[in-house]
Amino acid sequence: MPVSTVPIQVMGILNVTPDSFSDGGQFHRLDMALRHAEAMVAAGADWIDVGGESTRPGAPDVALDDELKRVIPVIERLRAELNVQVSIDTSKAQVMTAAVAAGAAMINDVRALREEGALEAAAATQAQICLMHMQGKPRNMQDNPIYEDVVNEVKQFFESRIRDCERVGIERQRLILDPGFGFGKSMRHNYELLQRLQAFQEFRLPVLAGISRKSMLGHVTGRAVDERLAASLAAAVIAALKGAQIIRVHDVAETVDALKVVTATLTGEC
Ligand code: 8Y4
């Protein structure tokens, strides 16, 4: 079962969308975001993933200026005040460019650089790039997703995106692969991806898994989104055992503890 013994990294989720913090103005929002990030770093986060655009089905599109105003000050402050790597969760070329200039070391794009200008913007940086698989668009992705073989189709998608990245001069070793749990997948598709996650090791690139609190956990436990910690930890441990190198989570302290047990087991170092 153990697929690798490299240290497993934890990526803490930092949403800076207006709905994610109660309304008290932009300075209050920045303050709340920084305090949340500080707690995640103290709990052992290796990465903070800063996102200013919601990808929930039906969520409104965010204007470029609004997204920049939300995420850039947060990235600057994180880099100035905390010892942590920053990832920018965006699909917009201009946000990628500005975020990396502000200190982000990873571009996390749920659209895998398929928006206008994104490939070129990413190529012009030295940042790592997480290519996430999604079938369809956020608007319609959960309306009856269909695959012949979900693992094979996600693999083919990665092959195609890796080729496009290399075509614009992005070095292969900057890439990270993510099957995109919940993005255009039925419950069965999500669990088959988790069961067969080690299949993506054949690319010899790091794999990132984002399962924390997602509906695939609610579906089998019957729990509401804020009651899914135990299920999220189970999923994080399974993903780590199947070779995921970065786990994207809400609950950093608990995940770090769970993954310490995984690492001690895999390495024998305790
Ligand atoms: C509760 C809270 C339930 C949040 C669901 C959610 C991924 C990602 C997202 C992922 C990568 C989410 C930005 C969806 N998921 N990026 N982003 N991988 N790389 N939903 O799986 O967290 S947002």
Nearest to 212 by CA among 236, 188, 242, 178: 236
Q: Tell me, using a 6 A CB cutoff, whether residue 134 lines ligand 1.
A: no
What proportions of the chain, in percent to the nearest 5, are helix, strand and coil?
50, 15, 40
1 falls within a domain: no
185 falls within a domain: yes
226 falls within a domain: yes
58 falls within a domain: yes
The average pLDDT across 117-141 equals 97
Chain mean position to CA 135:
16
- Residue 77: pLDDT above 80? yes
HEC string of 44-78 equals CCCEEEEECCCCCCCCCCCCHHHHHHHHHHHHHHH
DSSP state of 124: T
Average pLDDT, the chain: 95
Q: Tell me, using a 6 A CB cutoff, whether residue 51 lines ligand 1.
A: yes
From the CA of 124, how far away is ligand 1's center (Å)? 26
From CA 35, how far away is CA 24, in angstroms rounded?
15
Nearest CA owner, ligand 1 atom 12: 214
**pLDDT value at position 211?**
98
248 is catalytic: yes
Q: CB neighbours (10 Å) of residue 153?
A: 15
Q: At what angle do helices 187-195 and 150-167 cross, to 10 degrees?
A: 70
Q: Give the residue ranges of DSSP H helices in the chain.
A: 26-42, 64-81, 93-101, 118-123, 150-167, 187-195, 215-221, 229-241, 252-267
For residues 160 and 19, the model is more confident at: 160
Residues 3-7: contacts with CB under 8 Å, at least 24 apart: 3/198, 3/201, 3/241, 3/242, 3/243, 4/201, 4/243, 4/245, 5/263, 5/266, 5/267, 6/245, 7/263
From the CA of 162, how far away is ligand 1's center (Å)? 22
- Residue 93: pLDDT above 60? yes
pTM (2 d.p.) = 0.97
Q: How many domains does the chain have?
A: 1
Q: Which of 51-55, 121-125, 158-162 has the lowest mean pLDDT?
A: 51-55
Q: Tell me, using a 6 A CB cutoff, whether residue 63 lines ligand 1.
A: no
Q: Tell me, using a 6 A CB cutoff, whether residue 177 lines ligand 1.
A: no
**pLDDT value at position 6?**
72
Q: What's the CATH code of the domain at 170?
A: 3.20.20.20
Q: Tell me, using a 6 A CB cutoff, whether residue 251 lines ligand 1.
A: no
From CA 176, how far away is CA 206, in angstroms rounded?
5
Q: Tell me, using a 6 A CB cutoff, whether residue 189 lines ligand 1.
A: no
Catalytic option among 185, 214, 228, 242? 214
Residue-wise pLDDT for 212-260, tens only, equals 999 999 999 999 999 999 999 999 999 999 999 999 999 999 999 999 9
Domain that holds residue 194: 9-267
74: left (phi over 0), alpha (psi -120 to 50) or beta: alpha
3 falls within a domain: no
Q: At what angle do helices 252-267 and 229-241 cross, to 10 degrees?
A: 30
- Residue 20: pLDDT above 80? no
From the CA of 269, how far away is ligand 1's center (Å)? 32
Nearest CA owner, ligand 1 atom 3: 214
78 falls within a domain: yes
Nearest CA owner, ligand 1 atom 14: 55
2 falls within a domain: no
214 is catalytic: yes
Residue-wise pLDDT for 21-51, tens only, equals 555 778 889 999 999 999 999 999 999 999 9
259 falls within a domain: yes
| CB-based contacts of 86, cutoff 8 Å, min separation 6 | 47, 48, 50, 75, 78, 79, 99, 103, 104, 105, 106
- Residue 162: pLDDT above 60? yes
